[in-house]
Structure 1
Amino acid sequence: MTSIDVTEIIKSSTSSLYQPARKKSRFDDSASSSSQAGQPKPEDILAALEADQSNYVALDDVQVKKLVIQLDKKMRLNREQRVKNPDDAQKFMESEIELDKAIQEMHSLASQPDLYGSFVEVNGVEILLQLLGHENTDIVCATLSLLRELTDDDVMNEGEDGAAELIESLVSGSIITTLLACVERLDESVKDEADGVHNALGVVDNMIGFRDDITEECVKHGFTVWLLKRCFQKGAFDANKMYASELLSVILQTSDTAKAKLTEKIDGIDILLRTIAVYKKNDPANVDEREYMENLFNSLCAALMHPANRKKFLDGEGLQLMNLMLREKKQARQSALKVLNHATSGDEGIENCNKLVEMLGLRTIFPLFMRTPSKTKRKDTTPDEHEEHVCTILSSLLAACSENHRQRIVQKFVEHEHEKVDRAVELFLKYKEKVQRFELKKKRQSQEAGTSEDDDPDRAYLDKLDNGLYTLQRLTLILGEVAVGVESARLREEKLFQMKMSQNRLDLMLCPIIQEYSDNLGDDANIEQERVLVMLSKIEDFYK
């Protein structure tokens, strides 16, 4: 079929009644030219806004039906003319222009989401879905632009009932499959078609924002695979690559199915690692590319929450890549640290823990433990986040590694006159004070509100975890393991606590925190429960 560009032809031909609000200029030509000499006056702005509103025509159910019938007629006429004259664009050009105009006129519906239900009833969604398969990509792109505006977050939040009907109708009509066909078909080297892809991604984004179960549709129909491939696609960084990474990150963080199926058809872990590897020696060129890089790392972290993906990460030499990134000291450094945190945590991280020690990863981790990067050097994370990641990694290594590897870690705390014990105690005191400040603040708030933490103890505990307790627990477990493992380290801890807190008994300093941690472990954490209870017993035995 012949494809024609109707955009330029209709640029000057617009509908005065149904001009899309998003395409209106807030100022006329004279206002624009006068503004070049100075800033517009407030009264001029107000007058322009009032003029803009005066052109606005509110729709009703009858007008919506007329618009849809008009769109349907023009679509059918254009289809008939294309079938009759497949090789002569002149024979169907006029009907294509009229079809494009009809699509543009539908933009007025986006300002009245309360009418979406009527739009659905008269099969408006079905017509739009058909238009997404049109032979002319200009028509496809115009329809994508319309759909993105109809599903805009702000618009749908104004009329949630109508928006729910619209989204349900789109899902029932296999919108994700249709959008996938669109983005695969459009040529992003053509600006208008690249914009079309961007709008398609925007539609998916808007739908997920309204109904997060749309992520399952993306996984089911292969849209997630396309996003992954689009992120990995060679070529210059652009807005669509950025948007694809953002959606991929959202889907993987939201959907357990997406995590599980990431390596089903293609090795998504390997693709993410290869895409991220670019930033081993090169920093992102700008802020947008920096966000793109962070989206990729967030996607990888989310994927690693699925146990089977930890093995894929290990086999794909993900540990080696993260270790190299930490040594290179590029902008990806803190993100690599976060990935290591995810890769080594839990029972599923045991293999990664042992491998990290075998590949001499302690030489990379301990310098990060000893010194938190300054704020001027670190733009992407806070000091507390850095310390949380490092302490969690060390705690995981001590918990999961084989006995030989665990002893190697413990001995590191003895080196250089126990400097690492000193650092652990320093951080322990910092986070203990932080938690105490938070508890005092919450107590004051509860007294003022006349409530009690006993009303919701689980919520109170989670709040404490978010305000320093989590890192404090990691540090306490580290100090406990080291004290149990090496006598000189225990004596050093006791000496430091005596100096700083006038209390040298580890059973009083560490055990209450370890006990609280143990009490809040889940029912399936039997191995960890046993480990910490043994640690508690050994610490208490020091003072019997």
Structure 2
Amino acid sequence: MILTFEKRAYKNQELRIKFPENPEKFMESELDLNDIVQEMHVIATMPDLYHLLVELNAVQSLIGLLGHENTDVSIAVVDLLQELTDIDTLHESEEGAEVLIDALLEGQVVALLVQNLERLDETVKEEADGVHNTLAIIENLAEFRPEMCTEAAQQGLLQWMLKRIKAKIPFDANKLYCSEILAILLQNNDVNRELLGDQEGIDVLLQQLSLFKRHNPGTNEELEMMENLFDSLCSCLMLSSNRDRFLKGEGLQLMNLMLREKKMSRASALKVLDHAVIGPEGSDNCHKFVDILGLRTIFPLFMKTPKKMKKAGMTEKEHEEHVCSILSSMLRNLKGQQRTRLLNKFTENDCEKVDRLMELHFKYLEAVQVADKKIEGEKHDMVRQGEIIDDDMEDEFYLRRLDAGLFVLQLVCYIMVESCNANIPQIRQRVHQILNMRGGSTKVVRHIMRGTCSEITATILILPAQYMEKQLILKPALCLSTTNSLGGDCSSPGVR
């Protein structure tokens, strides 16, 4: 079969060179070539034979046909490659899959696929299908060989995808697929995040998301695309240089508007805002957010979780986590008058926001205590059965405590410590009053803050990316002395 394929490919190439202006002379050879490519689909049922494709140089010949003058032939090859790289098929024979993927990547398959994409006309159904199958090949390669994402993006894929996403054509399945692949390329990949920023991708994402500031997605597919674009934006904001681009591109104004408009984009806008202001790199965004009257937006969300947030797919815990994370970031980063404006919010309406803060404190303290009790029971059972509780198991228990609400509790305690340390007596008095009324203790708060500081180093070393990103907000430097605020000193030489 491969020999027949090579002969027909060579014959077609020969006739095209010989009769470039006379299609009748090479049309039949083109049909024969297309037929043998279709027959080769049977190879996808036997991935353990993929090594023969490579050994007989058929992979390089197939890749070469991606640039064939007749797009029908290149689309047929794309269809074949999509089937050969189907992720379920690849997992049937790891050895065959490795050989095939190596050969494809050595042949610069992504660069050639992108060149082919540039000339396809999506108003033609067959060519639109070719675009979809091309994206499927990229997804298959990225899932089987994640490290290829960096090289793929640099071979023109990222640039083409940004152009495709911002193209002024009606929403379709290919635009949705592009948003999915874009999110995959940016996931845990600083090189691609930087590349997207350099190619003005932050502006592209903001422009596309601005369509949803006053209008909800029309279909579930469009909603999925919107979420993919939000995820891509959050991923990019992990890079400090992109936060500057986000600020200059008026991303904060867009997120603030989305939060006020109360559409389906609201929940994701809150998540983006959290990523934009977190850590020392978020300082400029924090100050800008106050300048655009963002405090009027964020505090109503702090006081109550809107029902529409739940409808948009964000749980009450996730909502409270993002809001508390934003407030703690602003307390850390704001200086001067803007910091004073933030702290004064806690004194408004008879310190109602302090009441809410303490409500959250006891809510998540109770949730963590329940989780701790369950974990202690499991540890006791393991010890009784002679099992060893190693570091991996301790890490797993810590992750469970974070999921149960420990992370939100840490944020709440930090906000409590910072606000009490701000020399505003009424805040400190209200905190102590509520702690006394509900049987709480400043010792518990200090214990949580100590634990936060001592766990940060371990968190950065051992925990998955999503928790590491969360913990960036709570650096050891945040553990300020609370001697004058909570009746003790939560800092010591060991954790300073």
TM-score, normalised via structure 2 length:
0.91
CA shift digits 1:225-267 (9 cap, x unpaired): 2111211111100111111111111111131100122222x21
Partner of residue 425, structure 2: 487
d(CA) in 2 for partners of 1:111, 1:423: 61
Distance in 1 (alpha carbons) for counterparts of 2:391 and 2:476: 27
The corresponding residue for 1:344 is 277
Percent identity, aligned pairs only, is 44
C-alpha displacement of 1:112: 1.2
Q: Structure 1, residues 142-197: CA drift from partner, whole Å, max 9, x if none? A: 11111011101110011111101111100000011001101111111111001001
What is the aligned counterpart of 2:399 among 462, 479, 485?
Answer: 462
CA spacing shift, 1:469–1:377, aligned 2, 3 Å: closer
Q: Deviation of residue 513 (structure 1)?
A: 0.6
2:366 matched residue in structure 1: 433
Shift in alpha-carbon separation, 1:444–1:114, aligned structure 2, 3 A: farther
Aligned with residue 106 of structure 1, among 40, 48, 68: 40
Which runs of 5 or more residues in structure 1 are unaligned?
Answer: 1-66
Conserved? CA contact 2:310–2:316, under 8 Å: no
Query: Which amino acid is the alignment partner of residue 334 of structure 1?
Result: A
| Structure 2: distance between partners of 1:269 and 1:327 | 22
Instruction: Go from structure 1 to structure 2 and tell me whether the alpha carbon gap of 1:453 and 1:471 turns closer, same or farther (over 3 Å shift).
Output: farther
Structure 1 residue 537 displacement after superposition: 6.8
1:221 is matched with: 155
How far off is 1:287 after superposition? 0.4
Q: Could you say which residue in structure 2 is the equivalent of 1:355?
A: 288
Contact 2:481 2:489 in 1 (8 A): no
Residues 435, 468 of structure 1: 8 Å contact kept: yes
Residue type at the aligned position of 1:274: Q
Going from structure 1 to structure 2, the CA distance change for 1:314 and 1:110 (only over 3 Å counts) comes to same
Q: Check whether the contact 2:360–2:412 (CA below 8 A) recurs between aligned residues.
A: yes
- In structure 2, relative to structure 1, the CA distance for the partners of 1:527 and 1:466 (3 Å cut) is closer
Which of 476, 480, 490 is equivalent to 1:533? 480
Structure 2 residue matching 1:331: 3-state secondary structure:
coil
Given that 1:431 and 1:472 are in contact with CA atoms closer than 8 Å, whether structure 2 keeps it comes out as yes
Deviation at 1:271, TM superposition (A): 1.3
Secondary structure of the equivalent of 2:481? helix
Partners of 1:536 and 1:348 lie apart in 2 by: 29
For residues 474 and 325 of structure 2, the distance between their equivalents in structure 1, rounded to whole angstroms, comes to: 17
Shift of 1:491: 1.9
Query: Residues 536 and 387 from structure 1, CA distance in 2 versus in 1: closer, same or farther, beyond 3 angstroms?
Result: farther
Cα pair 1:228 1:245 within 8 Å, conserved: no
- Whether 2:240 is the aligned partner of 1:307: answer yes
Which digits, 9 at most, give the CA deviation of each residue in 1:99-133, with x for residues without a partner? Answer: 11101111111111111112111112101101111
Task: Write the letter of the residue equivalent to 1:373.
Answer: P
Change in Cα spacing, 1:271 to 1:73, as seen in structure 2 (3 Å) is same
Q: 1:460 to 1:533 in 2, by over 3 A?
A: farther
- Are the counterparts in 1 of residues 278 and 473 from structure 2 also a CA contact under 8 Å? no
**Residue in 1 that maps onto 2:179:** 245
Question: C-alpha separation between the residues in 1 aligned to 2:200 and 2:275?
Answer: 19
TM-score by length of 1: 0.83
Distance 2:391 2:456 in 1: 21
**Which runs of 5 or more residues in structure 2 are unaligned?**
461-471, 491-496
Question: What is the 5 A alignment of 1:155-234?
Answer: 155-234=89-168
AA matched with 2:45? S
Q: Are the counterparts in 2 of residues 120 and 166 from structure 1 also a CA contact under 8 Å?
A: yes
Partner of 2:456: helix, strand, or coil?
A: coil
Q: Distance in 2 between matches of 1:448 and 1:161?
A: 43
Q: How well do the aligned residues superpose, as a CA RMSD in angstroms?
A: 2.1
Shift of 1:526: 12
Contact 2:122 2:128 survives alignment (8 Å): yes
Find the aligned partners of 2:22 and 2:375 in 1 and give their Cα distance.
75
Count of residues paired in the alignment: 473
Alpha-carbon distance between aligned partners in 2 of 1:380 and 1:218, rounded to the nearest angstrom: 32
Decide which structure has the larger Cα Rg and report it. Answer: 1
Work out the CA distance in 2 between the residues paired with 1:382 and 1:527. Answer: 23
Deviation at 1:462, TM superposition (A): 3.4
Aligned residue type for 2:164? R
Deviation (angstroms), 1:426: 1.1
Which residue is 2:468 aligned to?
A: none
Residues 113, 159 of structure 1: 8 Å contact kept: yes
Does the 8 Å contact 2:325/2:473 carry over to 1?
Answer: no
